[in-house]
Amino acid sequence: MNTLLNNGLFRRLVSIILLIFLWGIVSKIIGDKIILPSPSDVAESIRYHASEDLFEHIYITLLRVFTAFFLAMVIGSAIGIAMGRKKKLDDYFDGWLILALNVPALVTIILCFIWFGLNEVAAVLAVAINKIPTVTVILREGTKAIDERLVQVGKLYNKSRFEIIKDIIVPQLFPYFISAARSGLALIWKIVLVVELLGRSNGVGFKINEFFSMFDTTSILAYTLVFVLIIMSIEWLLVKPTEKKLTEWRL
């Protein structure tokens, strides 16, 4: 038993079971499904929605998450690297960047719907625009931190510009890409739900709004739980192993 308790994984498992147990007790004391349904109610609801259209909506939401994520990473990185390399650009656009960082997500979303209409493009664009400034900031710092002395080694051995970027610049930026990707994923899926709630007729956000109008707390928790689990497994199965592989040279 003692050796089991010394196992980190085991302790985490105990902690999760404890949380579900506590949730069960609290819901029993409250005794009202609208305020807090029991774990078994939610499990039952997941089973029901899974046989209906749960995964359809999750699929649509994930598609929006990844499109917006991809757009934000590409555009944000390009701007960030450019600003990190060229001081003039940084001086001109630093003010814009600070402004963009401070515009509330909700404002961008509503403005995009007003300007581009209640459509898919506006929805994805709104999410991407929210994320671009943070990616830009992270990559700008990363670019500024590039060790020129290592770039000189490449120049000394007559490596081409492309080889220097591929073999010397990009590896130095990897930790920053990963950091931007991780914080990006966490932020984007939350904003996507808001976008769906405000202006789409499908996706997890839309469904949650629908359940809200019926005070169906059980279904809200069922959808949330499944979606959170999927996002977490992406982090565990995709982001973490990639990070480990790309940064194993660090101490």
Partner 1 sequence: MKDELIMSPTGRINEFKIIINKKVFPLKNESKEGKNLIFKNLEFTIKKGQFLSLFGPSGCGKTTLLNIISGLDKDYDGYIQPWSKTSQKVNKQDISRKYSFSNISYMFQNPRLFPWLTTIENIKYPIKKQRNADKVANNLLKKVGLEKYKNQYPNRLSGGMQRRVAMARAFAPNPNILLLDEPFISLDKKISNSLRKLLIKLWKKNKPIIIFVTHDLDEAIELADRIFFLSSLPSKILLDYKINLGRPRNRNNKGFLSLKRLLSSATKNKY
Cα–Cα separations (whole angstroms), residue 231 to 10, 45, 71, 90, 131:
22, 20, 18, 34, 17
The one segment of 7-15, 168-176, 187-195, 230-238 that binds partner 1 by CB under 8 A: 168-176
The only residue of 28, 87, 155, 166 in contact with partner 1, by rule CB under 8 A = 155
Nearer to partner 1, 176 or 206 (CB): 176
Q: Is 250 in the site for partner 1 (CB under 8 A)?
A: yes
List helix spans (H) across 31-119. Answer: 39-51, 54-85, 87-102, 105-116
CB of 226 to partner 1, least distance (A): 38
Nearer to partner 1, 62 or 181 (CB): 181
Nearer to partner 1, 1 or 250 (CB): 250
49, 222 contact by CB (below 8 A):
yes
Q: Is 52 in the site for partner 1 (CB under 8 A)?
A: no
Nearer to partner 1, 56 or 167 (CB): 167
Q: Is 123 in the site for partner 1 (CB under 8 A)?
A: no
Residue 170: exposed, middle, or buried by beta-carbon count in 10 A (0-12, 13-18, 19+)? exposed
The one segment of 28-36, 40-48, 102-110, 150-158 that binds partner 1 by CB under 8 A: 150-158
Nearer to partner 1, 32 or 248 (CB): 248
The only residue of 153, 186, 228, 237 in contact with partner 1, by rule CB under 8 A = 153
Tokens 């950091």: give the residue.
179
CB of 151 to partner 1, least distance (A): 10
Count of residues engaged in binding partner 1, rule: CB under 8 A = 16
Question: In the window 173-212, what residues touch partner 1 (CB under 8 A)?
Answer: 174
Q: Is 149 in the site for partner 1 (CB under 8 A)?
A: yes
CB of 73 to partner 1, least distance (A): 21
62, 230 contact by CB (below 8 A):
yes
State the CB neighbour count (10 A cutoff) for residue 226: 19
Provide the 8-state DSSP code for 237.
I
The only residue of 16, 157, 213, 245 in contact with partner 1, by rule CB under 8 A = 157
Nearer to partner 1, 28 or 166 (CB): 166
Tokens 């509330």: give the residue.
104
141, 84 contact by CB (below 8 A):
yes
Residues 6+ apart with CB under 8 A from 104: none
Strands (E), 133-249: none
Q: Is 171 in the site for partner 1 (CB under 8 A)?
A: yes
**Closest-CA residue to 131 (of 205, 210, 186):** 186
Cα–Cα distance for residue pair 57/192, rounded to 1 Å: 12
Q: Applying CB under 8 A, which residues contact partner 1?
A: 149-150, 152-153, 155-158, 167-168, 171, 174, 248-251
